[in-house]
Structure 1
Amino acid sequence: MGCHCSKLTWCCFTSDHNRPVNEANKAGNEEKSETSDLPAFREYSIEQLRMATSGFAVENIVSEHGEKAPNVVYKGKLENQRRVAVKRFNRSAWPDARQFLEEAKSVGQLRNHRLANLLGCCCEGDERLLVAEFMPNETLAKHLFHWESQPMKWAMRLRVALYLAQALEYCTSKGRALYHDLNAYRVVFDDEGNPRLSCFGMMKNSRDGKSYSTNLAFTPPEYLRTGRVTPESVTYSFGTLLLDLLSGKHIPPSHALDLIKNRNLQMLTDSCLEGQFSNDDGTELVRLASRCLQYEPRERPNTRSLVASLLPLQKETEIPSHELMGIPRSGEILSLSALGEACLRMDLTAIHEIVDKLGYKDDEGAATELSFQMWTNQMQDTLNSKKKGDVAFRHKDFGVAIECYSQFIDVGTMVSPTVFARRSLSYLMSDMPEEALNDAVQAQVISPVWHIASYLQASALFALGRENEAQIAVKEGSILEERRTATSRD
């Protein structure tokens, strides 16, 4: 069907904004049950989360505003290989530990397939952190405003709107109707390309802080008057998201409403959507956005009404989200390198050959603590331990290699991910998989984006019989290796 957005008729917008919306068939909005495969909410220690994020490494920062933001989000991996997003609050954000813990536990009771669910928190000393499911496929802001390969299709934009409305309806049904600063950065995409609402927005950025960003153009008018968030405020923010989806830009609501009033809808519609939707569909989405953005909170629809309005608009429902988004599907067969294949086969001899040939070239940039000790006998002995370890490793005398590398590591004057990797493989060859896993994890702490560390973790996990976790580690190693190869080409 052709796109006739510029010809949308004014009569479509003069109807009563508060008209009742027919309730959709309950089957259409049926909850898939609160996800049962997730662990119960728990508390983590700061040391566990430091290990998970490789020491809160800069390379693991995933929040769009980067390292200088007051509250930074990191990607990480727990001991059981579960990938997580870790939000670290500014140390002055939640001075009352009890309040933070109570609020986090309350949000942690939510479990739904439309949310990036909260798995736990850390409340230790003056540290305040949240731990959530990791969503690997970027934010809505990235796919709408900064896309590289293809603009988001109309059918996917409608799906995003529906899934978000369903997420908000679920939260409302569980007594958590308030969401702070709902925007395109709060919407993330899971392994299958499905949009989810980040649970981080269920909590303020600080106990007494503002609920909205400093951009007043997108703030609900009643919040400017009272400083309080209400369920109707969340609906207003949902309306701004509908405008984002329609326009592909972050248009201030006042400007968008002026365009609607003046029937200048061509300016409001993303030109990339040409030919993808009908006059009626465009009209209905604009009408719904207009209702959400009403000045008077009582004139805005509730979440149940939003879901009922969006369900009939869904298109191409049989096509999986990852296809609409043009992203690889979770579990898709990986194209593995020789090292990845050797890891998957548990061919330790092949892994040894590759690691031995690699040498120490990946240690470039690893932190070292060297001083005049370089010239002392002790330092010379330490370096000799490493050299003896290398000779033993090359000749597959793994017991001696472990002993020599341990002497080098225990002195602690030099930090080498390669030494940990070599001792890890030596432990594997000596049928000591637990020790091998610990060393592989330590190698990744030192060098967070090093694919060798991930592959060795996978090998140790295979040896321990932890098949699912090992497969995850293989996939992660493959992704890191592919990125490294792509970077070297550029």
Structure 2
Amino acid sequence: MGCRCSKLSACCWSSDQNGSIPAADNDENEEKGEVDDLPAFREYSIETLKMATSGFAVENIVSEHGEKAPNVVYKGKLENQRRIAVKRFNRSAWPDARQFLEEARAVGQLRNHTLANLLGCCCEGDERLLVTEFMPNDTLAKHLFHWEAQPMKWAMRLRVALHLAEALEYCTSKGRALYHDLNAYRIVFDDDGNPRLSCFGLMKNSRDGKSYSTNLAFTPPEYLRTGRVTPESVMYSFGTLLLDLLSGKHIPPSHVPSHVLMGILHGADAVPLSPLGEACLRMDLTAIHEVLEKLGYRDDEGVATELSFQMWTNQMQETLTSKKKGDVAFRHKEFRAAIECYTQFIDIGTMVSPTVYARRSLSYLMSDMPQEALNDAMQAQMVSPIWHIASYLQAAALFALGKEDQAQAALREGSEHENKKNATS
């Protein structure tokens, strides 16, 4: 009571939490120091950025989805030895060069210690690139969801929340209240391990330069009605990130009911879920991917496939090659490439594989295409009617589509099939 902080300020954090949170320095001193430390925003030539990234070499890619992603981020180094990150947009993005330059220049005026600041851009021909400070210590998603040694410490989670609140408040004070797809992949860590908010999300997010969101897992309810990002959308996404920080898991709140978040069994017929079922309930796509990768094609055994002599001689090699390429892309989490290769395998039609449908279903989910994911999960169930994986993937797709009741029914069905399989194996 009596707190006069802004909506995103963290001044009301309890002081008795484990681990201290350093107080923020004087704003005037901060901004002065930041301006002195960073060069002014500038335009780079495409040749300069090619040289900095060794010709946009594959080994310099640092974005989550690799070279098949629509927009790829590379690490690089300028002639003055400053390390940079370069985001290269798809050639169909930002057709209006003037609009791109105006947007980049506006974001490039921001300078704050809580941001991975925009240093410049490139706009030559069809090329649209952004240049930012390089953050070498991975994303919050990597540290929070994919840790191997130990989970992120509680005091560090609080620090991330504080720095994120300060970053959003700073941007709002400078007239940049909209932030696109605010999620754990947008928070990166600098050389000293301090959390920074990527400035990429401050750029408008579509071909026409308007304010859209692209990731269904983080979509606020009002976006489904209006199709636009608003300041309220950013508040919603900030709350989602707080939930991630508190739980250490990615749980899109619009997809999960309160009794699940509380760990309460729901109803008389509630069935405890297996780890895979829990992953589908939480929409933890990384965990689902690990399960499918470890399972391989064991559950395809017994699926009837008739192959004519002509198929063996003329099409089999092409079929197997498409599937093999899809499996390599799936293993390396290059989900767009996996979709393309698995589609070739399916369209050839010489072999039927529920596992391929399941893998393409998850690849669609990873690419924010939940309806296509649901269609593939249903196809997998048509081929193998009592396969629990197919039911679980339907549940995950239905959660992504906001169909809570149907998703819960698919979860129960998957759990029943899995329990029966375990009982007979």
**Smaller-chain TM-score bracket:** 0.5 to 0.7
**Aligned residue runs from structure 1 range 283-298, under 5 A:** none
What's the CA shift for 1:218? Answer: 2.6
Distance apart, 1:185 and its partner CA: 0.5
**SS of the residue aligned with 1:121?**
strand
Aligned ranges 1:53-72 → 2 under 5 Å = 53-72=53-72
User: What CA deviation, in whole Å up to 9, does each residue of 1:206-263 have, x standing for no partner?
Assistant: 3337732342x43111111111111111010011111111111111203555148x84
Is the CA contact (8 Å cut-off) linking 2:167 and 2:197 kept in structure 1? yes
* Matched ranges for 1:98-137 at <5 A: 98-137=98-137
Cα displacement (A) at 1:20 = 7.0
8 Å contact from structure 2 (residues 91, 127) kept in 1: yes
User: Which residue is equivalent to 1:211?
Assistant: 212
**Given the two structures, how large is their TM-score scaled by the length of structure 2?**
0.55
SS, match of residue 67 in structure 1: helix
Q: Percent identity?
A: 81
The whole-number CA distance in structure 2 between the counterparts of 1:219 and 1:191 is: 31
Aligned to 2:79: 79
Distance in structure 1 (CA, Å) of the matches to 2:24 and 2:43 = 36
Alpha-carbon distance in 2 for matches of 1:241, 1:214: 14
Taking a change above 3 Å as real, the CA distance of residues 91 and 20 of structure 1, as seen in their structure-2 partners, is: farther
Q: Name the counterpart of 2:172.
A: 172
Q: 1:227 maps to what in 2?
A: 227
Deviations 1:314-354, CA, capped at 9 Å, x for gaps: xxxxxxxxxxxxxxxxxxxxxxxxxxxxxxxxxxxxxxxxx
Query: What does 1:81-480 correspond to in 2, within 5 Å?
Result: 81-208=81-208, 211-215=212-216, 217-256=217-256, 258-259=258-259, 263-264=262-263
Q: Is the 8 A contact 1:181 1:213 kept in 2?
A: yes
Contact 2:182 2:218 in 1 (8 A): no
DSSP 3-state at the match of 1:251: coil
Describe the superposition over 1:280-301 as per-residue Cα deviations: whole angstroms up to 9, x where unpaired: xxxxxxxxxxxxxxxxxxxxxx
* Letter matched to residue 214 of structure 2: S
Q: 1:224, 1:183 → 2: CA distance? A: 18
Residues 265 and 191 (structure 1 numbering): CA distance in 2 closer, same or farther, change over 3 Å? farther
Q: CA distance change for structure 1 residues 220 and 55 in 2, over 3 Å: closer, same or farther?
A: same
Q: Match for 2:81: what amino acid?
A: Q
The 1:56/1:265 distance shift into structure 2, 3 A limit, reads farther
Contact 1:71 1:205 (C-alpha < 8 Å) held by counterparts = no
Residue identity in the other structure for 2:197: L
- Provide the secondary structure at the position in 1 that maps to 2:250: coil
8 A contact 1:110–1:174 mirrored in 2: yes
Alpha-carbon distance change, 238 to 29 in structure 1, aligned in 2, over 3 angstroms: farther
Indicate the residue corresponding to 2:361 in structure 1.
Answer: none
CA distance in 1, matches of 2:202, 2:165: 15
Query: TM-score if structure 1 supplies the norm length?
Result: 0.48
Distance apart, 1:30 and its partner CA = 3.6
Root-mean-square deviation (CA, aligned residues, Å) is 2.3
Contact 1:218-1:237 within 8 A present in 2 as well: yes
Cα separation, partners in 2 of 1:96 and 1:255, compared to 1, 3 Å: closer
Partner of 2:136: helix, strand, or coil? coil
Task: Structure 1: state its 5+ residue gaps.
Answer: 1-18, 267-490
- What residue identity is the alignment partner of 1:168? L
Query: 1:148: Cα distance to partner?
Result: 2.0
Amino acid at match of 1:33: E
User: 8 Å contact 1:93–1:205 — kept in the other structure?
Assistant: no
Contact in 2 for aligned 1:212/1:219 (Cα 8 Å): yes
In structure 2, distance between residues paired with 1:259 and 1:237: 21
1:125 Cα shift? Answer: 0.6
Q: Distance in 2 between matches of 1:243 and 1:205?
A: 25
Deviation at 1:265, TM superposition (A): 8.1
How far apart in 2 are the matches of 1:60 and 1:259? 44
Rg larger in structure: 1
Which among 27, 31, 34 is matched to residue 33 of structure 1? 31
Letter in 2 for 1:211: Y
Q: Which runs of 5+ in 2 are unaligned?
A: 6-10, 13-22, 266-425
3-state SS in 2 of match to 1:211: coil
Structure 1 residues 20, 227: CA separation in 2 closer, same or farther (over 3 Å shift)? farther
Contact 1:86 1:130 in 2 (8 A): yes
- Between the two structures, name the one with larger relative contact order (CA 8 Å, sep ≥ 6): 1
* Match of residue 46 from structure 2: 46
- Provide the C-alpha distance between the structure 2 equivalents of 1:223 and 1:115, rounded to a whole number of angstroms: 25
